[in-house]
Amino acid sequence: MAPPKKHWAKSLSEAVNLSTTIAAAVALGYFGGRWLDGKFDTEPWLAVLGFLIGMATGFKMMWTKAIANSGPKDRDEKKQSGEEKP
């Protein structure tokens, strides 16, 4: 049986939330690295490292969200698929 469809507004909300979270992680890593470069005179290495850490964090968030959405969550969905025992 096909899983029930989500309402478009909820899906849009989740997409915007994920994209802004990823953008914030990348920006925080990059600008934090730039700030540290200025403090320790290591330009551009810490900015690059911060950017890469931000990208890795973003990919981890996407992976976690994809895994969380891949299986049935609700009790009703589990009952429909026959996975839950009475």
78 HSE (CA, 13 A, CB side): 8
pTM, full prediction: 0.71
* Domain assignment present for 35: yes
Q: Which domain holds residue 57?
A: 17-66
* Domain assignment present for 6: no
* Domain assignment present for 10: no
Residue 11: its pLDDT value, please?
86
Instruction: Name the domain count of the chain.
Output: 1
Question: Residue 65: phi, psi to the nearest 5?
Answer: -65, -40
* Domain assignment present for 3: no
Mean pLDDT by 10 residues, the chain (86 residues): 75 92 96 96 94 96 90 60 58
Which whole-number Å values give the CA distances from 78 to 57, 70, 71, in the listed order?
Answer: 31, 13, 9
* Domain assignment present for 80: no
Which whole-number Å values give the CA distances from 1 to 47, 49, 75, in the listed order?
Answer: 49, 46, 15
